[in-house]
Structure 1
Amino acid sequence: MKISKYETYDEMSKAAAALVTKQLAEKPASVICFPSGDSPTGMLKHLVDAANNGRLDLSQCYFVGLDEWVGMDENDVGSCKYYLHTNFFSKVNIAPDHIILFDAKSDNLNGECERINDFISEKGGLDIMIVGIGMNGHLGLNEPGTPFDLYAHRSQLDPVTVEVGQKYFQQATTLTEGITLGLKHLQEAKIPVLIASGIKKAPIIHEALQGTVSTEVPASILQQIKNALILLDDDAGSELEHAS
């Protein structure tokens, strides 16, 4: 695990975008996982700029979504699909069949997990898997108590996730279940990356990266992933001890 701190959110976002750009330059057909939420927005903006200015070729790569609220799709403001389409896919030239997202309205959610697992496996694994961190230490929708050895799976949402998740919606929204890539995917990714920003994330970043490794803090698994890259702005990393 390597921790890198940046003075500002924008500098952190540029560093995350640079990781993706470098990977695609070296392997144009890379398989990349992006999260939704507040943390990746800056990174996606820099990637859109690079793609539209001819500095980034997205024609051969594949994008896999990290997670989704069960019962929602790209038409639901606040869904992960809506976020990714609004902030990235709609602004760049990517073939639709190169975008692999959970169908969280499916009648067979376990089948959706198998479909995503099979796709990742057939492509030889994720080249880059980028995740954010929840206030309860979740990665994706791997909530507290989730075993470290799961691939894609359905997830019963933690009360903290339900409460914090309301910020993505224009009105009070019932959230009960998610569907998500698993922590095993993160452990097997060729380049696993955590990005986090803001002073509110400082306590959970400290607990996850310098506390006890436990399924009760899913992000603590990062301590056991030697090649994991942790990108933080100064606020998010402000409670870490001896971090560069």
Structure 2
Amino acid sequence: MKISIYPTPDDMSKAAADLVAAQLAEKPTSLIVFPSGSSPTGMLQYLVQYAKEGKADFSQCTIIGLDEWVGMDERDYGSCKHYLHTNFFNLLDFDPERVAMFDAKAEDLEAECARMNSFISSHGGLDVMIVGIGMNAHLGLNEPGTPFDLYAHVSELAPITVEVGQKYFQQATVLTQGITLGLQHLTEAKMAVLIASGENKAGIIAESLQGHISTDVPASILQNMSHARILLDAGAAAKLEHAS
């Protein structure tokens, strides 16, 4: 893995957007996974700006949503779909045929996981998979204890994920399960990108990137991935040893 540290969250966000723009310039038909949450907002703002300025062309690529709260769709404020539509797709009049996201209201969630797995494999695999990191080191909704070799799956949400997840909603919301791409997808992506900012992430970043590799710390899988790019601001990198 390659760790890059930037002075501010804005610098980190721009660097992440630059990676995506460079990927699109090299391969316009790229298959790219976008996360939701607070971490990618700045990146998405830059990408919308780049698209409007002609610096990034999204007309041929396909965007995949990383995960979703089970039981929600784009009409639910706080859902991952709502986030990506509000912060990206709607701002660019993005072709809906080039968007692939979980139907978290599907009657058969296992079939939905199989559908997403098949979609990715039939398109030649992921070119770029971008993830944030949770306070318990989850990537997507791959919670502690998740096997590293899982593809898309339904997860039981950890208490900390339920607690922190409330910030995305306008009122207290019951969260029990998630549906998510798996850590095996991250391993197989041609480029895996972790973005993180803020001193509140410093402890879990250090544990994940320089601690023991274990399924108890899902993000520790990145230590095994030579193709992983880690983009941090100074706050998130504050507890790393020998980081530059």
TM-score (norm 2): 0.99
* Match in the other structure for 1:20: 20
* Within-5 A mapping of 1:142-161: 142-161=142-161
* Match in the other structure for 1:44: 44
Unaligned runs of 5+ in 1: none
Q: Provide the rounded CA distance (Å) in 2 between the counterparts of 1:198 and 1:30.
A: 30
Counterpart amino acid of residue 168 in structure 2: Y
* Match in the other structure for 2:134: 134
Offset of 1:54 from its aligned partner?
1.5
* Match in the other structure for 1:241: 241
Contact 1:58 1:93 in 2 (8 A): no
* Match in the other structure for 1:162: 162
Q: What is the identity percentage for the equivalent residue pairs of Structure 1 and Structure 2?
A: 68
Question: Over residues 49-90 of structure 1, what are the superposed CA-to-partner deviations in whole Å (9 max), with x where a residue is unaligned?
Answer: 010111111110000000000000001010000000000000
Offset of 1:186 from its aligned partner?
0.2
Aligned pair count reads: 244
Counterpart amino acid of residue 182 in structure 1: G
Question: Over residues 159-211 of structure 1, what are the superposed CA-to-partner deviations in whole Å (9 max), with x where a residue is unaligned?
Answer: 11000100001111000000000000000000100000001000000000000
TM-score (norm 1): 0.99
Q: Provide the rounded CA distance (Å) in 2 between the counterparts of 1:184 and 1:82.
A: 26
Contact 1:149 1:183 in 2 (8 A): yes
Contact 1:30 1:61 in 2 (8 A): yes
* Match in the other structure for 2:172: 172
Q: Provide the rounded CA distance (Å) in 1 between the counterparts of 2:211 and 2:176.
A: 29
Contact 1:133 1:196 in 2 (8 A): yes
Worse-superposed segment, 88-97 or 17-26: 88-97
Runs of 4+ in structure 1 displaced over 2 angstroms? Answer: none
1:76 aligns with 2:76: yes
Counterpart amino acid of residue 20 in structure 1: V
Contact 1:142 1:155 in 2 (8 A): yes
